Structures are given as structure tokens and as C-alpha cells.
Structure 1
Amino acid sequence: MPSTKHQPGYTLVEVMVAVAILGIGVVGLVGLQADSARYQNATYHQTLATLLARDLAERIRANADAAAGGAYVGTGTGSSPDCVSAACTPGQLAAFDLAAWRQRALDRLPSAWVDSSRNGDTYTVRIGWGSTSNADDCSPTTCVSLEVTP
């Protein structure tokens, strides 16, 4: 009669431990991927806001006559002429610039708000997005502020 040898099952336990360790590693990698996507999205919004703020800063510098009179103060919600197809005065161009800037921010950033204020000769351009509702709620991850001297 052939002898039967009893297998203790250590190999099965080792395989189960290896699968558990592998599973924990996969869950960790999925978490890292999710964090990476979230940070990438935040960085994208911050970059867009910075580019939009610089755009208005260049418009303020290019239209120094209107900027000297404070024409670039506000949120761009008022009526503005179409300065693309018709000639405009410097003041009208400032209103057009603010309205176009505001619309670009609203189109590109989630829950965006914009503001341009003036203190002396210096303008402060602010753009916020996401959970911020005004300049008081600003943080470096949800708001960009840029000072401009025309």
C-alpha cells in the first residue's frame, strides 16, 4: 500500500498573505492616483486664474489713460460696448476689457468670481473659484491676486 503524506497547508497561508499584501498595495496606489488627479485639477485652475489675472494686467497697462482715471475698477458686470467691431474710447475699452475678462473667467473656472480694485495708482486684480465666494474667503489654492501699476 502506498503511504499517504499529510500536507500541512503552509503554502496556502503564504499565498493568502501575499494576496492580502498585494491588495493593500493596489488600494494604496488607487488612493495616490486619486490624490494626483485632484492636485492636478487644482493646479490647472490656479494656472488658468493666473493667466487670466495677467491678461487683465496687460490690458490695464495697455490702456494707461483709462487706468489713470480708475476705469478698470469693478467686476465687469455692467454693460459694455463691442470694441471688436467698432472703435471705442479708452473708457469704453476698459469696460469692454472688464466684461470680456469676467466672461472668460466664468467660462473657464468653476464658480468663478472676479474683482478689480484700485488703491492710489495700483490696481489689485483678484480671481477666485470653487468654494470661495469673495475676497474674504481667499486662500492660495482657490484665489489669485495680482497687483498692477499701469
Structure 2
Amino acid sequence: MLNYKNQKGMGFVEILVALLLLAIGVLGYVALQYRAVEATSEATYRAQGINIARDLAERIRVNRSALNKYKTEISTAENQKIYQKNCSTSNCTSTELADFDVSQVAKNADALGMTINMMTCKGNNNGRNCIYVAWADTSATDGDGVTDCTNGTSYNAASTCLIMEVY
């Protein structure tokens, strides 16, 4: 015959242990969901960044004779936002079109919370240019700071950016 006096509270302890195990499982699931949301957000930014870089690259490809104007206009934030002539409504020279193209792409990037830049690609001898697109706390620049996209030929570890080679 069983002695039930020694069994008092055992059901309660079992329920507490089961709830503890369930809580640990739920916390693991919450952490997993959080990482999934972060990964989805990062993928969205990358897709948008690729589209911005591709847009600028295609505009440069069409108007290749104004490459230096593209580089000049995109090198500073002030030049990126303004344009001298609206090429959607009137005929433009190649340099005016480059000025207009940069302002259009920069406005699209700004609307998405991104910055753009174009520099000579690091680590090559053929003079190719790279389009930098950065978001979050990263700037579309090359340097040794933690907010720079790259440091020479490598990405900074905490950067959120992408680079597209243009030729």
C-alpha cells in the first residue's frame, strides 16, 4: 500500500518543471523569429541596394561619354540632390544628363534610407569604378572607420552595404 502523505505537492512540482521547460522552448522560438525578421529585413535592403546600383550602372552605360561627370556629381551629397536641367522634359547634353541621372538615383536611394557613392575600385589596376550603396549606420565610403563600408579591399565587419563594379 502506498503512503500518500509523502506525495503531497509532487503534482505541483511536476507542473512547475513542465512550465519551465515550455518557457525555455518558447524563448528559443522567439529568438529564432527575431533572427528571421532581421534576415528578411537585410535581404530587402540588399535587393533594394542592388536595384539602385544597377539603375545607376545602366544610366552610366547609356551615357558612357560623361563618366567623369557622373563621378563628380556623385562624390558629394550636395551635388547628388540638385540638377541644372530636367532631362525628362527637355533635350540635354551628355553632361546635363549625367547630372540629372545622379540626382534621380540619389533621390531614390534617399527615399529608401540609403546613400550612394562611386569610387575607383580598390585592388585592381584597370581603373574600373565601383558603386557603393549603404544603409543603416554605414556610409558609402572607403576608410578605416567603423561606419565606412570598406577598408581598402575588404568590407568592414559591421558594415551594411554592397558594392557593384561598373565598366
What residue in structure 2 maps to residue 148 of structure 1? Answer: 166
For residue 134 of structure 1, report the CA deviation from its aligned partner: 4.2
**Aligned sequence identity (%):** 30
- 1:116 and 2:112 aligned: no
Shift of 1:19: 0.9
CA offset digits 1:28-51 (Å, max 9, x no partner): 111111121112112211211111
| Distance of 1:45 and 1:142 partners within structure 2 | 9
Distance 1:20 1:36 in 2: 25
Q: Per the alignment, in what secondary structure is the counterpart of residue 47 of structure 1?
A: helix
CA distance in 1, matches of 2:37, 2:116: 26
TM-superposition CA deviations, 1:111-133 (whole Å, max 9, x none) = x3211235776322111111113
Conserved 8 A contact 2:87-2:97: yes
37-46 or 113-122, which moves further after superposition?
113-122
In 2, the alpha carbon distance for the partners of 1:130 and 1:80 equals 30
Shift of 1:87: 1.4
1:128 maps to 134
C-alpha RMSD of the superposition: 2.2
Q: Greater Rg, structure 1 or structure 2? A: 1
Alignment of 1:1-150 (within 5 A): 6=5, 8=7, 9-67=9-67, 70-73=68-71, 74-75=73-74, 76-109=80-113, 112-118=114-120, 122-135=128-141, 136=143, 137-138=148-149, 139=155, 141-149=159-167
Find the residue that maps to 2:5 and give its secondary structure. Answer: coil
Give me the TM-score of the superposition, normalised by structure 1: 0.82
Gaps of 5+ in 1: none
TM-score, with normalisation over the residues of structure 2? 0.75
Which sits farther off after the overlay, 112-121 or 25-34?
112-121
Once the two structures are TM-superposed, the CA of residue 66 in structure 1 deviates from its matched residue by 2.0
Query: What is the CA-CA distance between 1:106 and the residue it aligns to?
Result: 0.4
Corresponding pairs, count = 142
CA distance in 2 between counterparts of 1:5 and 1:129 reads 66
The one-letter amino acid of 2:134's match is G
Quick one: distance in 1 between partners of 2:129 and 2:104? 18
**2:70 and 2:98 in contact (8 A); partners too:** yes
Q: Secondary structure at the match of 1:81?
A: coil
Post-superposition offset of 1:7: 6.4
Given the superposition, is the C-alpha separation of residues 80 and 147 from structure 1 closer, same or farther in structure 2, using an over 3 Å criterion? farther
